Chains A and B, each alone.
Chain A
């Protein structure tokens, strides 16, 4: 069984996550998992050592409990619970919520439909945080590159061939306004995101040129250009401030971010995606928590089992032996 699972795993690793998931959840593999479970349980019954030694017992029980939890939490597990136990939950899906709006529908491709939650999730605010300072990248044709912090007034030498670069101004939301016959660049504080940097380059021949480098609209180098400028901000975090509303009342609140999901009503809500254009909506992935307690309990048993069997048992046996030797010596 173990050797077969090794080969199945190696096959699964080659086909990609999505196909591997459906492969390991397919009917033949469900039969395999059931046989695997039965073999583990039968092994506990057949080999006395597995029950007498707590480490071995916990390791094997741990694997059984993890598998049971995994089966309960699978799509097929949810289907069986719906049909026979009347537990009506969706295994996974996603929600798109606009800022200031509430939503109680989960979309799922697998079910080809919307799933209605008995409560609503309201998005109070969505925001992104960036590492500071931002950086402007300069890449020459010869492969030499520089990373320059985007701070107004910073001057940087780009070598004798090119000249000097100066950061003039950084924009969060670059826009052009027309005043009379002049075009003026402004940093618009209203809706929209269009980060840009204004740079000034003092060329070797003394000529000064000015240009704007946009994060969203990277320029392409022309045949005459000696270097390419790119501006990229590095995202530190995505945060959605959520409220859970039931019967018109706020029953829970949480600011969720990557690694910090919201757990409510038998589901976990994760920060999954966002409105890349204007930051006006968030996308949450929703996962049922069915079977999760079993899986975590199995993990604890497995950890306890391996630590006891492979580490502690030998250390304690050695101590006992040493004590016995000392007592015999006395």
Chain B
């Protein structure tokens, strides 16, 4: 863990500060100030991402540092979930913004790298982008699942969905993106490495996470009404597998494979 004494690092820390202050002020009941600070955190996060793009000379989605930097621009996602999908949890989004920027600010190496030949593909940006977005939906879905399991609910006057339904809606949206990510990755694998399925650890973990959500949909349809709490356990298990896919596979030597460059 190290502090980044660079402009990039400074922008990340300011964005994190914005998100954390938004979280605290909203939790204290000053919702308007909280929203302004949330938007400020988002703007700084955008500057940070834009600066990285300029510095690296390519769309910054190459490694975990850049992916987490991208995940930090969470405000429009939160707004979309609330306004369009009727799923609450803005307070959680504010905290999530700071949490995802933490590894970018303190853990991952920020030195810009050239794109290796395999990443110079028109599928690079869509593949990573849909995965990043799907992970956000799945994370928010898991947050709703935890709310359901712990019995916490929103005030219904906002017209927001209750946690179990909100979880289902989040997973429905995220699952489509997860499927697109898996298929785009497979297509890209065929073009770059010669096979649409190479049994690489990252590929298999991605398949496992996709299958957990497939299991969730089947379980919810068959037994979901009688065992609503188990629906949420499927979703949380799916998130655990996503975390392994995103982090453990790249950081652990246990899973060396074709995706090792993404550290």
Same assembly? yes
Q: Is the CB–CB distance between A16 and B118 below 8 Å?
A: no
B199 within 8 A of A: yes
- Interface 9-mer from B8-16, B39-47, B159-167, B189-197: B189-197
Q: Is the CB–CB distance between A14 and B117 below 8 Å?
A: no
User: How many Å lie between the Cα of A92 and that of B218 in the bound state?
Assistant: 37
Q: Is the CB–CB distance between B117 and A287 below 8 Å?
A: no
User: How many Å lie between the Cα of A303 and that of B178 in the bound state?
Assistant: 10
B99 within 8 A of A: no
- Interface 9-mer from B18-26, B68-76, B150-158, B180-188: B180-188
Given contacts A292-B196, A311-B173, 8 further A-B contacts (CB under 8 A): A2-B211, A21-B198, A259-B120, A259-B121, A268-B194, A272-B194, A306-B179, A310-B176
Q: Which of A59-87 contact B (CB under 8 A)?
A: 70
Q: Could you say which of B116, B190, B198 has the most chain A C-beta atoms within 10 Å of its C-beta?
A: B190
A258 within 8 A of B: yes
The answer, among B183, B201, B249, B256, for a CB contact under 8 Å with A302, is B183
Q: Is the CB–CB distance between B117 and A236 below 8 Å?
A: yes
Interface residues as binary, A14-56 with B (CB distance below 8 Å gives 1, 0 otherwise): 1011101100100000000000000000000000000000000
Contact flag A299-B187 (CB < 8 Å), given A3-B215, A9-B208, A307-B176: yes
Q: Is the CB–CB distance between A299 and B173 below 8 Å?
A: no
Q: Which of A198-226 contact B (CB under 8 A)?
A: none
- Enumerate the 5 nearest inter-chain pairs by beta-carbon distance, A residue then B residue, closest first: A258-B117, A20-B199, A9-B208, A13-B204, A21-B199
Please give the distance in Å from B113's CB to the nearest CB on chain A: 8
Q: Is the CB–CB distance between B257 and A9 below 8 Å?
A: no
Please give the distance in Å from A94's CB to the nearest CB on chain B: 10
Q: Is the CB–CB distance between B204 and A259 below 8 Å?
A: no
Please give the distance in Å from A269's CB to the nearest CB on chain B: 9
Q: Interface residues of B toward A: which range?
A: 35 or more
Q: Is the CB–CB distance between B211 and A287 below 8 Å?
A: no
Q: Is the CB–CB distance between A9 and B186 below 8 Å?
A: no
Q: Is the CB–CB distance between A14 and B254 below 8 Å?
A: yes
Q: Is the CB–CB distance between B211 and A9 below 8 Å?
A: yes
Contact flag A12-B204 (CB < 8 Å), given A17-B199, A131-B114, A302-B183: yes
B31 within 8 A of A: no
Q: Which of A271-330 contact B (CB under 8 A)?
A: 272, 285, 287, 292, 295-296, 299, 302-303, 306-307, 310-311, 314
> In this complex, what residue of A is CB-closest to B202?
A13
Contacts of A306 in B (CB 8 A): 175-176, 179
Contacts of B186 in A (CB 8 A): 299
Please give the distance in Å from B195's CB to the nearest CB on chain A: 7
Contact flag A17-B215 (CB < 8 Å), given A236-B114, A258-B120, A303-B179: no
B255 within 8 A of A: yes
Contacts of A70 in B (CB 8 A): 197
A144 within 8 A of B: no
Q: Is the CB–CB distance between B201 and A16 below 8 Å?
A: yes
User: How many Å lie between the Cα of A302 and that of B120 in the bound state?
Assistant: 27
> In this complex, what residue of B is CB-closest to A235?
B117
Q: Is the CB–CB distance between B257 and A17 below 8 Å?
A: yes
Q: Is the CB–CB distance between A258 and B204 below 8 Å?
A: no
Contact flag A299-B183 (CB < 8 Å), given A92-B194, A236-B114: yes
Q: Which of B227-263 contact A (CB under 8 A)?
A: 249, 254-258
User: How many Å lie between the Cα of A13 and that of B179 in the bound state?
Assistant: 19
Please give the distance in Å from B199's CB to the nearest CB on chain A: 4
Q: Is the CB–CB distance between B201 and A287 below 8 Å?
A: no
Contacts of A259 in B (CB 8 A): 117-118, 120-121, 188, 191-192
Please give the distance in Å from B83's CB to the nearest CB on chain A: 14
User: How many Å lie between the Cα of A314 and that of B258 in the bound state?
Assistant: 38
B214 within 8 A of A: yes
Q: Could you say which of A20, A285, A314 has the most chain B C-beta atoms within 10 Å of its C-beta?
A: A20
B91 within 8 A of A: no
Please give the distance in Å from B118's CB to the nearest CB on chain A: 5
> In this complex, what residue of A is CB-closest to B197?
A70
Please give the distance in Å from B134's CB to the nearest CB on chain A: 12
User: How many Å lie between the Cα of A302 and that of B201 in the bound state?
Assistant: 23
> In this complex, what residue of B is CB-closest to A145?
B111
B212 within 8 A of A: yes
The answer, among A5, A13, A260, A299, for a CB contact under 8 Å with B211, is A5
Please give the distance in Å from B214's CB to the nearest CB on chain A: 6
The answer, among A234, A237, A310, for a CB contact under 8 Å with B120, is A237
> In this complex, what residue of A is CB-closest to B120?
A259
Q: Is the CB–CB distance between A10 and B194 below 8 Å?
A: no
B200 within 8 A of A: yes
Contacts of B116 in A (CB 8 A): 235
Please give the distance in Å from A180's CB to the nearest CB on chain B: 43
Contact flag A311-B214 (CB < 8 Å), given A287-B195, A299-B187: no
A6 within 8 A of B: yes
Q: Could you say which of B187, B199, B201 has the most chain A C-beta atoms within 10 Å of its C-beta?
A: B199
Please give the distance in Å from B197's CB to the nearest CB on chain A: 7
User: How many Å lie between the Cα of A3 and that of B233 in the bound state?
Assistant: 14
Q: Is the CB–CB distance between A310 and B175 below 8 Å?
A: yes
User: How many Å lie between the Cα of A18 and that of B198 in the bound state?
Assistant: 9
> In this complex, what residue of B is CB-closest to A23?
B199
Please give the distance in Å from A127's CB to the nearest CB on chain B: 13
User: How many Å lie between the Cα of A5 and that of B208 in the bound state?
Assistant: 8
Contacts of A238 in B (CB 8 A): 117
The answer, among A6, A9, A237, for a CB contact under 8 Å with B117, is A237
> In this complex, what residue of A is CB-closest to B121?
A259
